[in-house]
Structure formats: structure tokens, C-alpha cells
Amino acid sequence: MRRASGVGRARVSRPDPPIDPDAETVMREEAAASAISGADVSLTMPHHATGRSGGAGAYLLGKVGPIVAALAGIVAVWYLVSLVVLSPDRRFLLPPPHEVVANTLGNPNVMGPMLAALGQTVLVALAGLAIAVVLGLAYAVVMSQSVWAERVLYPYAVILQTIPILALVPLIGIWLGYGFPARIVVCVIIALFPMISNTLFGLLSASPAAHDLFTLNKATRWQRLGKLQFPAALPSIFTGLRNAAGLSVIGAIVGDFFFQQGSPGIGGLLRTYTLRLNMDALFMAIILTAVFGVVVFSIFAALDRAVIGRWYGHTAR
């Protein structure tokens, strides 16, 4: 009986001790780490490190591919209209792209004055943009400080935007002459409103809770403006700056077109080429103005992404 009871005691199984969940997690992590350490190193490397060249190529293709495709489409349509749609006796109205390039880029008598005029237009656009930015910021700041000031001043900004610039050209010419200052004024008038409207919207976009917090801390008007309203307005300010930069190019070309005293701008050359039916030079001047506008817009768009994206943590697309 004692032996049987001993056998019975040997057959009795004791229950396993309870396993601590934290200890079990540690054991699993150690097992996973040991498995990863014996695996191929390339599996643990980031994707951009293993296929860096392929990833960069795909990125460039995604960015540059649509632009190249759009340019190819424009050139194809240009060739189609010039060589197929137009008859040979009317082909001078839209010469093929290769003729435009051959008759302008290879002719220093054409490209020399054109590049000099483009430089003059760049000066007008940059000067007008700088003045428009300063005036727009100041105008918006004044309106943001008082509802009464906004009601009084904002309608004049809208009126200045809605008046056709052609209606103001005679007055500008009579008051300021037909030289460089008149071109800058036209540029400022065209580029001013986006800076005013976007900056005012941004300055007024701070939340009421943030204003209440500044009120509880007895912040002054200037502290509220510099530490609350301007940081909140940065995205809108850069949006207005980007739009104003594109409009400043248009304003500079319009000013060159109507005010031709002094050094001619690209707008003045556009008018001259149109009157002379010099289509090759006219199309090259149009191409240069388009490239200039795209470059200016792209610069300020990149500045917007660099500053605002870093400030607010947005990733570049």
C-alpha cells in the first residue's frame, strides 16, 4: 500500500507556476531579436537605404514626369496646328517650334535686346513685389486691430482690385510719366490685393481661446500681434506672397507694355514684335515671360514649403 501510494504520489502532476505577462513579453522580444540578428542584414535596413537609387529615380520621375509630358503635349499641339491645320501661306502666324528656336536663339541681334529687356522686367517685378508686400502687411495689420478700421479701409482695397488697370493707365502716365516709376506703380496695384486679403485673414484666424489666454496674462496689443496673430497668420501670408509674386510678373509686363520711356522691358518688346508681325521673336519673348513667371512662382512656393512646412510639421508633397 505504501508503494502504491508512492506511485500515486509520483503520478500526481503539479500545476505550472503562473507566468508574469511582463516576463513573457520580454522573452518574446528576446526571441525576436535573436531571430533578427541571424537574418540577412538587408532585411533590417530601411527601404530608402536598400533601394536608394531606385527610390530617387521614382521620386524624380514622379515630379518631373508630368511636367515633361505636359511640355511634350504643348509642343505636339503646336506642331499639329502649324504644320497640319494652317496652310503654308498662313504658317507665318504660328511658325513651328524649331524655326522659332533657330531664328532667335542663334541670333544675338534678337536675343541680346530680349535678355536685356527681360532683366529690366525682373527689376520692375521685384521692386513692385517688395512694395506690395510692405504695403499689404501694413494695411492688413491696421485693419486687424479694429473692426472700425476694417470696415473703413477694406472697401478701398476691393475697389482698387476691381478697377481695370487699363482705366488707370492714363492717370498713372499723366501723374508719374511713362518711365520706370509708372511701371512699378502698375505692378504694385496688381500685386497688392492678395497680400492684403490673405494677411488679414491670417491675422484674424487665431482662436478665441488663445486670445483669452493672452488676455488673462495681460498681454499688450503688440505682444498679442507679435506672439499670437503673426504666427497664426504665417500660412496665409505665404499664400498671399506666392500669389502676389505671380501677379507682380504680370504687372511688370503690363507696365512695360504701356510705359516705354527709358530702357524697354519685355512687355515693350512684345508690343514692338506684334506691330511688326515678327512672329519668331514674339513667340520667344512669350516663352521667356512664361519661364520667368514659373521660376518666380516656384521660388516662393518652395520658400512656402520650407518655412511653413517646418513650422507646422507638414511633409513636402
| Cβ contact 238:308 at 8 Å | yes
| Cβ contact 86:279 at 8 Å | no
Grid cell 490673405 — which residue?
198
Q: Kindly report, as residue ranges, where domains of CATH 1.10.3720.10 are found in the chain.
A: 108-312
Is residue 5 scored above 90 in pLDDT?
no
Predicted model pTM: 0.74
**For range 125-151, the mean pLDDT:** 94
**Proportion of the chain in helix, strand, coil states, percent, rounded to 5:** 85, 0, 15
Range of lowest pLDDT (152-166, 275-289, 295-309): 295-309
**For range 289-308, the mean pLDDT:** 87
DSSP-based three-state secondary structure for 271? helix
Is residue 3 scored above 70 in pLDDT?
no
Is residue 264 scored above 60 in pLDDT?
yes
Beta strands in the chain (DSSP E): none
> What band does 32 get if pLDDT is binned at 50, 70 and 90?
very low
Is residue 34 scored above 70 in pLDDT?
no
d(C-alpha 312, C-alpha 305), whole Å: 10
Instruction: Locate 50 and state its grid cell.
Output: 536598400
Contacts of 264 by beta carbon, 8 Å cutoff, 6+ apart:
113, 117, 120, 256, 272
For the chain, give the mean pLDDT.
80
On whether the 108-312 domain is CATH 1.10.3720.10, my answer is yes
Q: Given this model, what pLDDT does residue 311 score?
A: 63
**For range 276-301, the mean pLDDT:** 90
From residue 278, alpha-carbon distances to 75, 100, 103 in Å are 20, 10, 11
